Amino acid sequence: MSTEQQQTLDAILRQSAFPVDSDVSEQRRLLRELTSAQPLPADVTAKPTTLGGVPTTEITVDGIEARHVVLYFHGGVYVLGDAISAAGLAAEVGRRTGARVFSVDYRLAPEHPYPAAVDDALAAYEALLGDGVAPSDIVLAGESAGGGLAIATLVNARDHGLPLPAAAYVMSPYVDLTLAGTTMETKRAADPLLSRELLEPRVTDYTAGQDAALALISPVFADLAGLPPLIIQVGTNEVLLDDAVRLAQQAATADVEVTLDITPRVPHVFQAYQPLLDEAGAALDRAGQFLTARLTGTERVTG
């Protein structure tokens, strides 16, 4: 069924893709319409809370004794989305990791350009530590821009001298806002969602005149030395494929333990389409195994 599933999903995504000439308010409206039509599973509870003064959504799954915490960052190229819109996917990460999840409502551009999102992400992580959660019990996760923000938060936390979490999981990470990846062109026809034309105005919104190659804007250019183990997942039908590949290369060059997990013929953040695509659940299972091993492994070392 996989080929048929992939083709069906591709057709759905092409039909619902944002018009290239749409502005931020129109894109936000379209995204709200899409996400509001997808209710959370019956065993998932989401409630508003805060971490370090930053709004978050706490997500729990019935029946899971949550000893661990996932700090989750939603996608939306830094201008779209919110914590609750990502709750369905974030819950699946929590389910497979035996963790409660805090999805972070970081401030969005253009109203709040860089470094607002980066500051909010670090504040949320610091608050977890301040609340007494051991770093060895925390993993970071995120999709698209949220994946980039997760990596930037690791770099930022390291540079602030904070203890780092057990691991991080990023899905289709958006880590190069200079848009220099070769697949920005070579995967243009294959990607049903994203394109250079769609991304360029949103880059301008977020960077607000600052250099898009700054390490905390585009962490593919950051020094990744000392970061915890990473699992990076990406599909081959996306213009951001090269972002993920280069991020893995940078991590490996910096002696970071990294797993690059590439699934053929699936789109951007394919894990979000678990009900439609067998590969989505399988990828989440692999990530859950990776994260659980690092959480329990860290516990043994420190316990």
pLDDT in tens, 167-182: 999 999 999 999 999 9
pTM above 0.85, yes or no: yes
pLDDT over threshold 60, residue 300: no
Is residue 232 within 8 Å of residue 259, measured between CB atoms? Answer: yes
Is residue 190 within 8 Å of residue 169, measured between CB atoms? Answer: no
Catalytic annotation present for 195: no
φ/ψ region of 255 (left if φ > 0, alpha if ψ in -120 to 50, else beta) reads left
pLDDT recorded at residue 35: 80
pLDDT recorded at residue 1: 65
**Mean pLDDT on 147-153:** 99
Residue with token string 């039908």: 237
Rounded Cα distance, 145 and 153, in Å: 12
Catalytic residue among 103, 136, 195, 268: 268
Confidence of residue 38 (pLDDT cuts 50, 70, 90): confident
Is residue 266 within 8 Å of residue 237, measured between CB atoms? Answer: yes
Catalytic annotation present for 36: no
Catalytic annotation present for 238: yes
Catalytic residue among 85, 103, 136, 144: 144
Q: Which residues contact 270 (CB under 8 A, 6 or more apart)?
A: 9, 172, 235, 263, 277, 279, 280, 283
Structure tokens at 239: 């213009």
